Amino acid sequence: MTSSTFQGSESGGNAHASTSHGGGTLRKWIQFLFILVSALVIFIPGLYHYGIIDPSDGLYAEGAREMLERSDWITPSSNYKPFYEKPILIYWMIMAFYQLFEVHEFYARLPVALCGVASAVALLILVRPFLGARASMFSALALLSTPIFVTVGRVAITDVPLTLFMMLGALCLFSRCFGAHWISLAVAYCSLGLALLLKGPVPVAMVAIILLIYLAWTRPKGTEAWHQWWWRKALLLHPLLGTAVMLSIAAPWYIAEGIATKGAFFQEFFINQNFGRAMGTVNHQNPFWFYIPIYLGGFFPWSVVTLFSIRRYFSLVKQRWLPTRRANLELFSIIWLVFALGIFTILKTKLATYILPIAPPLAILSGSLLDRVIRHRKSNLLSWALLAFILIVMPLLAIAAPAICFKLAIDFSGLYMIVGFGFFIWCFLVIATVAAFRKKLEASITAIACACAFACGTFVPTALQYHYIRSDRPLFELLRRVVKDKAQVALYMRDSPAVNFYLRRPIKEIKTLLDYKMYVEAGKKPHYLLVTSDVMEQMKEPPAMWTLLDKRSKWHLFEVDP
């Protein structure tokens, strides 16, 4: 069985993709530009409208600033001390933008946002040979309208770049199984090398396991023995060459860091962080059901939409040998999504952003589902569902909006802006409903996908801005007083990279009585102390010699001189 036979009866599926999907060169370029511009509009504007959001946003923004200040491109730092919890790539990305432009929150977030843009464009290009032009565009729009993906893509953390590199690695290797050009191998292994440099060996292992499960699960029909077919496909991926490429990208820094830290990095990162997080011996321990609300809410609406195809997904898994490229990509996406969700659910250490790499497979399944709705002409169900949504759900949201804004301390200008955004979304949905009733399903579903992307592109930046105003700007305002009073300042029983970022200096972190005594006795007066509300609750009552100077949100500013 040759590699062309592995593609099965692709001619029917591909002919459909190239004809009914209007797969001409002009349409492809229009779709490419549409997704590119949409992604830029969703990810870039407003990155400068809010300051550092602690802790993770500040951790990498400040760590890169400290490294640049020291002209050290090898060892990450936090509060001017070596920081071994993450490899170097995210710091290099941010440092490069600092070096090219200036140290600013916008440039700390820009490389991550550009990775979000690249993810949408790459998804469009990589799934088009399998799904066709229309479904690939819907997949890209689904990714751009995934709330958690857009949110995380607008702060300076590692998860969106990681998702990009894992997606490139997984989809390019999958494409190679279907006879894609050898360039797909180069892109795959270079991307996985960057993932190794960004987050360590776990993402590389995950991509390898997902691909192996797919190859082991799919069973060829014909005379060729299964193990011969499997072995031939594995060799087609040139794993030894790929390993050499990945190591050539990542190993030089790991070796340099190991030498520079005399092995301390390897002990902390590989043993304490990777193994410790798997065993739950480090922080962020959460119950097994932790990801259920994250999946349903953070990936809405696609986490719910794909439930309507659950029977099809079980059918794909049971068939094992699938005749079309589309079905094979769907099966691969199912394995990717289920494996990633399952493995992160099993691990004791859980954070909401850990499951972000399931965004691409969920977007692929969503795009394929939307395309099937058009091809199967399911207009009645869609039209009545849309009508119910705009007549029942949207008015309820409009009624609830003032109460939500009051709860979140959003002023009237913010309320008016949210209502305005909601009106535009309502207009999109009205257009989609009218088109559905008139049997114009492609126009209807395109309007729905655009409405979801517009919602993410407007509400997510607004939510981040108001989160900053409520939670993190109060700290910035207190630091302005510290600078004005020319005071020493320390953090009590916690850290905050934002303090280092804004003051541009090391900050004393007081965790013991000896730390406190040394701080009060050192340096010029006055000595200020920043304390959060949760620490205040544990203390019951602050010491009598502490004088409360100001309180903003969760932050208390004390003067602690005797």
Least confident of 67-76, 193-202, 525-534, 536-545: 536-545
Report the alpha-carbon distance of residue 149 to residue 151 in Å, rounded: 5
> What is the per-residue pLDDT for 269?
85
Is residue 537 over pLDDT 80?
yes
Cβ-proximal residues to 20 (8 Å cutoff; 6+ apart), any chain? 132, 375
Report the alpha-carbon distance of residue 230 to residue 353 in Å, rounded: 34
> What is the per-residue pLDDT for 282?
58
The terminus-to-terminus CA distance of the chain in angstroms comes to 84
Quickly state the pLDDT bin for 4 (edges 50, 70, 90): very low
pLDDT tens string 384-436: 777 777 777 777 766 766 666 666 556 655 656 666 667 777 787 888 888 87
> What is the per-residue pLDDT for 15?
38
**Of 254, 248, 274, which Cα lies nearest the Cα of 189?**
248
Token pair recorded at residue 252: 């030089």
Q: What are phi and psi of 324, to 5 degrees?
A: -120, 155
Report the alpha-carbon distance of residue 6 to residue 150 in Å, rounded: 36
Cα angle value 467/473/474 (rounded, 5°): 115
Mean pLDDT (the chain) is 87
H helices of 132-181, in order, are 133-144, 147-152, 159-176
Q: Which amino acid is at 173?
A: L
Decide if 48 contacts 104 (C-beta within 8 A): yes
Quickly state the pLDDT bin for 285 (edges 50, 70, 90): confident
Cα angle value 529/534/538 (rounded, 5°): 90
pLDDT tens string 153-201: 999 999 999 999 999 999 999 999 888 888 999 999 999 999 999 999 9
Is residue 377 over pLDDT 70?
yes
Quickly state the pLDDT bin for 226 (edges 50, 70, 90): low
pLDDT tens string 10-33: 333 443 444 344 447 888 899 999
Map residue 251 onto helix, strand or coil.
helix
Report the alpha-carbon distance of residue 26 to residue 14 in Å, rounded: 18
> What is the per-residue pLDDT for 61?
96
Residue labelled with tokens 């894992």: 166
- Burial (CB < 10 A; 0-12, 13-18, 19+), residue 28, is middle
Decide if 20 contacts 126 (C-beta within 8 A): no
Average the pLDDT over 279-303 and give the result.
82
pLDDT tens string 124-154: 999 999 999 999 999 999 999 999 999 999 9
> What is the per-residue pLDDT for 11?
33
Whole-number percent of the chain with pLDDT over 70: 88
SS (H, E, C) 86-119: CCCHHHHHHHHHHHHCCCCHHHHHHHHHHHHHHH
Indicate the length of the chain as a whole number: 562
Report the alpha-carbon distance of residue 345 to residue 333 in Å, rounded: 18
Is residue 221 over pLDDT 90?
no
Quickly state the pLDDT bin for 76 (edges 50, 70, 90): very high
Average the pLDDT over 348-376 and give the result.
92
The CB density around residue 506, as the number of other CB atoms within 10 Å, is: 12
Is residue 79 over pLDDT 90?
yes
Report the alpha-carbon distance of residue 426 to residue 111 in Å, rounded: 33
Phi-psi region of 179 (alpha: psi -120 to 50; beta: other; left: phi over 0): left
Is residue 3 over pLDDT 70?
no
Token pair recorded at residue 443: 């126009």
Q: Which residues of 216-254 are buried (b: 16+ CB within 10 A; e: fewer)?
A: eebebeeeeeeeebbeebeebbeeeebeebbeebbeebb
Average the pLDDT over 321-335 and give the result.
91
pLDDT tens string 423-469: 777 787 888 888 878 888 888 888 888 888 988 998 899 889 888 98
Average the pLDDT over 60-65 and give the result.
96
